[in-house]
Structures are given as structure tokens and as C-alpha cells.
Structure 1
Amino acid sequence: MQNFEYHNPARIIFGKGRENDVGGFVKEYGTKALICYGGDYLKKNGLLDRIENSLTESGISFLEFDGVVPNPRLSGVQTCIDLCRKNDVDFVLAVGGGSAIDTAKAVAAGVLYEGDLWETFLGHDTVKAALPVGVVLTLPASGSESSKACVVTKDEGHQKRMISSPLILPKFAILNPETTYTLPAYQTAAGCTDIMSHVMERYFTQTENVDFTDRLLEAALRTMLNVTPRVLRDPTNYNYRAEIMFVGNVAHNDLLGMGRQEDWACHNIEHELSALYDVTHGAGLAVVTPAWMKHVYKQNLQRFVQFAVRVMDVDIAFEHQEEIALEGIRRLENFFKSIGMPTTLHDVGITDDRYEEMALRALDGGATTGFFAKLDKEDIIAIFELAK
């Protein structure tokens, strides 16, 4: 096990009706809020009204930005930054999923940043200050409600990049599973896939003697395997929605990665699918992850055998270790298919004419990506070939 430090001060407020208390939580940090969200579903289901009423009752004035889009754009972030500066906003409230939260985080950093905020996404500078951020979560997937990371796409060139800073970690996140009842099945399945990917990016490690976090990660994966099909059949079941929302939060609050080297190659590769083709992030991960597994499993065959047996219920009586590992990968891929996720590049309309370009972009100027197996350009192209 590696040395580690763990500190996550994001306050999680979980349960029915807790969005009605949001004004009191915002009041601890500010007096004028920008609400970041996208789509009219928040108005149709009354959630936005409940949030606004709570803010008003707590004496919080507010502005709205309803232009959040999937794979959030830098242009939208800049619009919000200008709005906040002109109106002396001192708190940013995200209502939605990862796109709304990442927009809010980038805005919070950008309002207090002198210069071009994109420089921080390119790694040329760091975030030195940020407005406080709060979240009302409506789509469990990214785990951004309790992470210090933020991913934004630059409109010109479709570059998708990340910043990470404890300064943009949300002060609080309200998680009411009831707010997810009206999510379309595809969004629900894609969110569940994203959650599973966050777990697997940590699970597939070369770090030894990490059995405790192995077991936690396996429990998270088995919960998702069990609950995801059930919630798709019964989308207003509170208990199913609660399990997913809870796992999604824990999957990306850094706890499950303590003491072990994480990988993140699948995320780096998938970011190019969503950046260039606007593929839903979870759907892209369902395509990339099994192909990545097929390419790298021999780098640590025993870990893939462990995954197959402990997570995917492959019978240890299989004669050959390699067969066990491959059967585990096959079962994961079939699971993604069973919940309506794409599993090939063809499924999401991607042909082979940009494989090399996407591979180079995934490397982001470096020689390799990932840690379980260090992947170069040819490795990534080979993964695309396996995902055709």
C-alpha cells in the first residue's frame, strides 16, 4: 500500500426533501448566488421553484444561467463569469449532474482568476482562489459533487481538459434520490456506467497489498451490477435510486483510491470521443473500457482473474486463468449491452478515419497515458481497433 492523505470536507446532505433546505446552506457562505443548470425539466418537475423559494426565504438573492450543456463548454463558463462579476455574485449553485457542477466549479475559479482561465486547464497555471460552490444533484454519474476535479471543453478545437483543486470542492451537496425519478433510461444507464468506470479506474492497479480497498471497490461494483437493471425496470423506486446516488458519491470522493495507484486511461481516451463526437460520457466509457481490458489484461492477469471471480461471478473452476479473465471481460461487456449502452465505436457513429488524431489528443503531448499499463499512441489505436 502506498502512502496517502485523505481529506474531503464536502458536506453531503442526503435524503427526501432536503433541497428545501438549500437556502440555509447557501447562507453560510454568501448572499447572492448564481444558479447553474440546463434544460427545462427542472421547471417542469418543480425542483427549481423549490430551490428558489428556499433561497428567497433565507434572504439569498440570485441570478440564473440555464445554458449548461452536456460536455460543458468554455464559452458558457465565460458567460457566467462575466455575469457574476457584473452582479457581485459570491456563491455558485449547481443544479443538475456533472455538466452543471463542472460549469459551476469553473465559474467559481474563473471569477477570481486574472487572465485566461484556460491556462489552468492546460496546466500552465493553478487555481489560487475560488467562490464557494454548492450542489443540488439530479443525475448521479460524475461524482463531481464531492470531488475536486472539473472537466470543460474548449469550443475552438474541441479540447476537453481538466483542472483539479481543493478550492473548487463543493462546500455542500444535496442528494435527494427522488429528484432522479424522471431521468430517461439512457441517461440513467450512462450515469451508472460512469459510476462503475470511476470504480474500475481505481480497481485496476499494480499496487499490491490493498485488499481492504479492493473489497470496497468490489462491493461498489456488485451493487451497481445488481441495482442498475432493477432501477431501469422500476425508475421510481426510492431504494434503488438511493443506492445508485450513494455509490456514485463514494465512487469519486477519493476514499476508494487511497493507498493505491489509479489508472484513468479509459477516461483520457473517452474524453476524445465526447469532445470530437459529443458522445455521452458514460456511453463512451462502455465502448472504451472492455476494449481497454482486452488490450491490457496480460499486464496483471491475476487482477483480472480476481475481478472476474469476485465481481462478475465467473466460476473459478475454469481450467485456465486467461479464460477466467476473458470471461469476466465478456460478462462486463454483455452487462453494458443489457442496460442499453453502446459497446462499439460503430454503435456511436465513429469510424476509423480519426483514430490517430484521437490517440494523440488523448496523450495530450505526453508519451503515454495510464498507469496499470502505460499506453502509447499505437496502444490507443489498437484499443480503438478492438472497439470497432
Structure 2
Amino acid sequence: MLNFNYSVPTKVFFGKNKIDLLAENIKKYGSNVLLVYGGGSIKRNGIYDNLIEIFNENDINFWELGGVKPNPRISSVRKGIEICQEQGIDIILAVGGGSTIDCAKVIGAGFYYNGDPWEIVTDPSKIEDSLPIATILTLAATGSEMNAGAVITNLETKEKLGTGHPSMAPKFSILDPTYTFTVPQKHTAAGTADIMSHIFEVYFSKTKGAYVQNRMAEALLKTCINYGTKALQEPENYEARANLMWTASLAINGLLSDGKETEWSVHAMEHELSAFYDITHGTGLAILTPYWMEYSLNKKTVDKFVEYGVNVWGINSDNDKYEIAQTAIEKTREYFNLLGIPSNLSEVGIEAEKLKEMAKQATRRGKLGNFKPLTKQDVLNIYKKAL
């Protein structure tokens, strides 16, 4: 296990009716709030009306930035910063999934940056501070409610990049599983795949001796496998929604990754799909993952795939190593199919003519990953196999 420093400063309020704690926690930071949300689902499911009532009853002033899209745009970030600077915003409240939260985080950091906010996406070292961020989660997927990272898309340059700074970690997050009851099946499936991908990116590692992280990762993967389909079949199954929601937060708050050399190859490859074609992030991850696994399987990595197959999928450890590995990969693909996610990129509109350009973009900062380092040609090969 590698040396590490660990801190998760976000206070989490988990469970039914935890929104009752919103006003008192907002007022720790001020009374001027920027409310950031997405396509309007919070107005349809009643959360918006509840928020406005809370704001009015507690003398909280608020301004709105609605319409934040999946794969959040830098244009929305710019609008949010303008509102914050003109209205003297004290705290940003993001209500939604990872896209809304990521947008809010970069608005918060951009408030203190004297320049275009895209510059702090391409170069996180330019971030010095952020306005306080708070979140109310409505989609279990990215884990952004409990970490300091964000991913933003620039449609003009066809780039989707990650950025982050300790100050961007939410001060508090409200996680009420009932708020995910109305999430459509497509997004429940993609969210489950996103959670699993976050775990895969840190589970498949060359670091030795990280026994506790590996066992926790396997437990969280089995949680997704158990409850992902249940949430699809029974959208208002509180147990399923609660377990998925908490798994999403734990998957990418450092708990599984600190002390390990981590991967992040599939995410880098998928970011190009989203940047060029604006597809659902979790769907792209689910399609690419089994192909990445097949491409990464060799005599140096097979034992990790055996560990995965035996401990997560319950495959007989007496079987041939490569048989276990291949079976585990196929079970992964079958599970994503069971969630209703296709197996090929062409099924979501990806075209062969853009593959070379996307592979070049994915590796513009060098090889991807450590478990099986990927060159531009490697990435292109995986894209082609997945097409």
C-alpha cells in the first residue's frame, strides 16, 4: 500500500426528510443563494416547490441557474459566475445529479478567478478558492456530492475535461433516496454503470498489499450488481435506492483509491465520446469497459481478473485462470446488457470516421492508465473493437 493523506470534509445528511436541515446549514455561510439545477425534473417531482418554501420561510434570498445539461457546458459555468458576482452570492446550492453539481463547483471556483473559467478546467493549478458549495442529490452516479472534482464540456473545442481543488468539495450534501424514485430507467442504468466504472478504475491496479481497499471495492461492486436491477424493476424500492446512493458516494471519495496507483483509462476514453457526440456518460462507460478488460488481459494482469471473477462473480477458483478471467468479463458485459445498455458504440451513434481524432484527444496528455498503459493506437484499437 502507498502512503496517503485522507480527508473527506463534506458533511452528509442521509435519509428521508433530511431537507429539513437545509436552511440552518445554508445560513452558516450566508443568506444569498444561487440555486443550480438541470432540465426541470425538480419542478415536476416537487423538490423545487419545497425549496422555495424553505427559502421564503427562512429569509433566504435566491437566484436561479436552471437548464444545466448532462455533460455540463462551460457556457453554463460562465452564466453562473456572472450571477454570483452581480448578486453577491454567499453559497451555491446544486440540486440534481453529477452534471449539476460539477457545474456548481466550477462556478464556485470561477468566482475567484480573474479570467475565463475554461482556463481553470484545462489547468486546475490556477484554482485558488471557491464559493461554498452545497448539494441535494437526485441521481446516484458520479459521487460528485462527496468529492472535490468536476468534469466540464466545451462544445466549441470538443473537449470534456476534469478539474478539481480541495475548496470545491461540498460543505454539506443532502442524500435522500426518495428523491431518486422518479429517475428514469435509462438514467438509473447509466448511473449504476458509472458507479461500477469508478470502482473498476481504482480496483484494477498494480499496487500490492491494498487488501482493505480491494475488499471494500468488491463489496461495493456486489452492491451495485444486487441493487441496480432491483431499482429498475421497483423504482420506489427504498432499500435499493439507498444502497445505490451511498455506494455512489463511497466509490469516488478517496476511500477505495487512496494508497493505490489508479487507472482512469476508460473514463478518459469515454470523455471523448461525450465531447464529440454528447452521449450519456454512464452508457459510454458500460459499453467500453468489457472491451478495455479484454484488451488489458494478459499474463501480467490475469491474476487481478481472477480475483475479480472469484470474489465478485463467484466463479469457481479451481477453473483455469484465463477461463475465470474471460467469464468475469463476459458476466460484466451481460450485466450491463441486463440493465438495458447496448454492447456497441454504433448503437449510440458513434461513427468510425471520428475514432482516430478521439483517440488522439484521449491521449493528448500521454498514455492512459497504469494497470495496462494505453497509447493512442491502443485507444483506437479499443474504440474499433467496441464499434
Structure 1 Cα separation of the partners of residues 236 and 61 of structure 2: 33
Aligned-residue offset at 1:385: 1.9
1:57-96 to structure 2, matched below 5 A, reads: 57-96=57-96
Structure 2 unaligned regions, length at least 5: none
Structure 1 Cα separation of the partners of residues 81 and 164 of structure 2: 19
**Contact 2:71 2:153 survives alignment (8 Å):** yes
Please give the secondary structure, in 2, of the residue aligned with 1:13. strand
Aligned-residue offset at 1:124: 7.0
Structure 2 Cα separation of the partners of residues 124 and 315 of structure 1: 45
Match of 1:228 in 2: 228
Aligned-residue offset at 1:125: 4.1
Q: Which moved more, 1:330-339 or 1:365-374?
A: 365-374
Structure 2 Cα separation of the partners of residues 373 and 18 of structure 1: 43
Q: Which moved more, 1:124-133 or 1:295-304?
A: 124-133
1:1-388 to structure 2, matched below 5 A, reads: 1-123=1-123, 125-298=125-298, 299-318=300-319, 320-363=320-363, 365-388=364-387
Aligned-residue offset at 1:351: 2.2
Structure 2 Cα separation of the partners of residues 204 and 157 of structure 1: 31
**Contact 1:10 1:170 survives alignment (8 Å):** yes
**Contact 1:23 1:57 survives alignment (8 Å):** no
**Contact 1:150 1:162 survives alignment (8 Å):** yes
Please give the secondary structure, in 1, of the residue aligned with 2:256. helix
Instruction: Give, as a single letter, the amino acid of the residue that structure 2 aligns with 1:376.
Output: T
Structure 2 Cα separation of the partners of residues 13 and 68 of structure 1: 24
Q: Deviations over 1:8-65 (max 9, x none)?
A: 1100000001123211111111210000001222112110111222222232110111
Structure 1 Cα separation of the partners of residues 210 and 378 of structure 2: 27
Structure 1 Cα separation of the partners of residues 370 and 59 of structure 2: 49
Structure 1 Cα separation of the partners of residues 133 and 74 of structure 2: 18
Percent of paired sites with the same residue = 39
Structure 1 Cα separation of the partners of residues 116 and 46 of structure 2: 37
Q: Deviations over 1:71-114 (max 9, x none)?
A: 00001110111111111111100000001000100110111111
**Contact 2:124 2:165 survives alignment (8 Å):** no
Structure 2 Cα separation of the partners of residues 354 and 106 of structure 1: 29
**Contact 1:108 1:131 survives alignment (8 Å):** yes
Please give the secondary structure, in 2, of the residue aligned with 1:94. strand
Instruction: Give, as a single letter, the amino acid of the residue that structure 1 aligns with 2:370.
Output: F
Return the TM-score normalized by structure 1.
0.97
Please give the secondary structure, in 1, of the residue aligned with 2:126. coil
Structure 1 Cα separation of the partners of residues 385 and 305 of structure 2: 18
**Contact 2:206 2:371 survives alignment (8 Å):** yes
**Contact 2:294 2:329 survives alignment (8 Å):** yes
Return the TM-score normalized by structure 2.
0.98
Please give the secondary structure, in 2, of the residue aligned with 1:255. coil
Aligned-residue offset at 1:196: 0.5
**Contact 1:119 1:125 survives alignment (8 Å):** no
Structure 2 Cα separation of the partners of residues 26 and 124 of structure 1: 27
**Contact 1:151 1:162 survives alignment (8 Å):** yes
**Contact 2:124 2:163 survives alignment (8 Å):** no
Structure 2 Cα separation of the partners of residues 29 and 52 of structure 1: 18
Task: Tell me the number of residue pairs that the alignment of Structure 1 and Structure 2 aligns.
Answer: 386
Change (3 A) 1:46 1:288: same
Q: Which moved more, 1:346-355 or 1:267-276?
A: 346-355
